[in-house]
Amino acid sequence: MAGSERIARVTARFREAFGGEPRLFRAPGRVNLIGEHTDYNDGFVLPVAIDRDVLVAARPRTDRTVRLYSLNFDARSEFSLNALDHDQAQPWSNYVRGVAFYLQEAGLSLRGMDAVVEGNVPIGSGLSSSAALEVASATTFLALGEAELDPVKKALLCQKAENRFVGVNCGIMDQYISALGRAGHALLIDCRSLEYELVPIAGGGVRVVVADTAVRRGLAGSEYNVRRRQCEEAAQTLGRLLGREVRALRDVSVAELAAHGGALPEVNRRRAEHVVSENARTLEGVAALRRGDLARFGELMNESHVSLRDLYEVSCAELDALAEAAWRVPGVLGTRMTGAGFGGCAVALVRGEAIAEFQARVGEAYRAKLGREAQFYVCQVVGGAGEV
């Protein structure tokens, strides 16, 4: 959540840039606890909203002009709600422009605004700075225009803006958790039906700690497309073998894959084994959280990392170094890579009294093995977007 110093800094910059007093809105970033590379296989994911967010300080205008200032980039961008186009020079503004475009396409009446945007979600880390910006922008436009939109519809509209206006083919997880998150809860999302349920994770003095490799995901885009194709091929082949429709690997059980997986090309079998077992782990993890069994949930996180490393092959030396060092620290319940892979972050569940040792030992091991510095973010699990 935004601290008082940060709020004061953003408000002061608004006064300097535009004069007068703004209203403040926020939307959080996220980290996915378990359920990785399952989303485009119609499976299950389990993210939490974290206290790294995007803040928007804004005031409505009497015309249709939107004037933006980004504190992070020290840059301005301006556009009219009557003529929405891309800004090649300030691509960060295209997330705001795309949201405005699709809000208006949905029939909502928007007002122009002056706005200062600031985020402390590390860009490129896999903690979803883009979705936080989209959902914060939508929340601001709706409030200033005195318009209302169901949070689910708001999340879907923000996803559409990223897919079609920005041109990034993301799933729904990031926008859903940013809009729908609740403090102390994870959000189980069924990526086929888009149904969701809140799952409590409070208790035991356990914190979510994100360890950032400081490696940005160079291979993730091209390899993502390869994995997606391999999964689609595996689903088609398994459908023929099972004699029924298999729309996606979501439709295959662990037992069915064990019986028929040998007929798949070896690389496709490994990809399918990860996805099918990861869906099962995610649902077992939800059951463990519901009965307060954080130790079992942590074991499932560890199993997820091994599967992503060995079967799906989307980890890297940096992510493996963080996970393996974390597994040796007492008080760490579970650690796994999170996000697309090939860099980005690992996520750990750590008992409160072990956080300092976790940071020291994992940081030291990472430095010794790779000569790099890891960044650590001790997170609170917070609620979704709203007015500050």
Same-domain status, 264 and 317 = yes
Alpha-carbon gap, residue 102 to 108, rounded angstroms = 9
Q: By residue range, what is the domain housing residue 123?
A: 4-200
Within the chain, strands assigned E span: 23-34, 44-60, 65-70, 75-80, 113-119, 185-190, 196-200, 206-212, 332-338, 345-351, 375-379, 386-387
pLDDT, residue 218, reads 58
Q: Which of 231, 184, 237, 149 is nearest to 379 (CA)?
A: 184
Catalytically active residues are: 174
Q: Tens digit of pLDDT for each residue in 103-126?
A: 999 999 999 999 999 999 877 667
pLDDT, residue 79, reads 97
Same-domain status, 288 and 192 = no
Alpha-carbon gap, residue 289 to 201, rounded angstroms = 6
Specify the residue for token string 């940071």: 359
Same-domain status, 119 and 243 = no
Domain-located, residue 130: yes
Domain-located, residue 385: no
pLDDT, residue 313, reads 96
Largest CA distance in the chain: 68
Alpha helices in 23-128 (DSSP H): 93-105
Domain end residue (candidates: 181, 200, 219): 200
Alpha-carbon gap, residue 100 to 286, rounded angstroms = 36
pLDDT, residue 223, reads 83
What are the pLDDT tens digits along the chain (388 aa)?
Answer: 568 899 999 999 999 999 999 999 999 999 999 999 999 999 999 999 999 999 999 999 999 999 999 999 999 999 999 999 999 999 999 999 999 999 999 999 999 999 999 999 877 667 778 899 999 999 999 999 999 999 999 999 999 999 899 888 778 899 999 999 999 999 999 999 999 999 999 777 899 999 999 887 655 567 888 999 999 999 999 999 999 999 999 999 999 999 999 999 999 999 999 999 999 999 999 999 999 999 999 999 999 999 999 999 999 999 999 999 999 999 999 999 998 888 899 999 999 999 999 999 999 999 999 999 999 999 999 999 999 9
Enumerate helices (H) and strands (E) in the chain, giving the number of each: 11, 12
Alpha-carbon gap, residue 84 to 206, rounded angstroms = 45
Specify the residue for token string 């409030």: 143
Same-domain status, 90 and 221 = no
Contact 159, 170 (CB under 8 A): yes
pLDDT, residue 219, reads 57
Domain-located, residue 360: yes
Q: Which of 321, 228, 336, 324 is nearest to 282 (CA)?
A: 336
Counting the structural domains of the chain, the total is 2
Domain-located, residue 386: no
Chain center to CA of 145: 28
Same-domain status, 265 and 335 = yes
Same-domain status, 359 and 313 = yes
Chain center to CA of 59: 28
Alpha-carbon gap, residue 102 to 97, rounded angstroms = 9
Domain-located, residue 387: no
Strand partners, 46: 34
Domain end residue (candidates: 200, 218, 243): 200
Specify the residue for token string 């040998």: 262
**In the 8-state DSSP scheme, what is residue 122?**
P
Same-domain status, 179 and 54 = yes
Domain end residue (candidates: 154, 184, 200): 200
Same-domain status, 188 and 54 = yes
Domain-located, residue 9: yes
Same-domain status, 145 and 235 = no
pLDDT, residue 126, reads 73
Domain-located, residue 94: yes
Work out the number of other CB atoms within 10 angstroms of the CB of residue 165.
Answer: 21
Same-domain status, 237 and 217 = yes
Same-domain status, 115 and 94 = yes
Q: Which of 372, 375, 320 is nearest to 342 (CA)?
A: 320
Alpha-carbon gap, residue 107 to 96, rounded angstroms = 17
Contact 112, 60 (CB under 8 A): yes
Name the token pair of 364: 């030291």
> CATH code at 39?
3.30.230.10
Q: Which residues contact 221 (CB under 8 A, 6 or more apart)?
A: none
pLDDT, residue 157, reads 97
Name the token pair of 225: 């497309």
Alpha-carbon gap, residue 170 to 181, rounded angstroms = 18
Chain center to CA of 147: 26
Domain-located, residue 388: no
Alpha-carbon gap, residue 356 to 285, rounded angstroms = 26
pLDDT, residue 221, reads 63
> CATH code at 263?
3.30.70.890
Burial class of residue 218 (count of CB atoms within 10 Å of its CB; 0-12, 13-18, 19+):
exposed
Same-domain status, 166 and 99 = yes
pLDDT, residue 169, reads 77
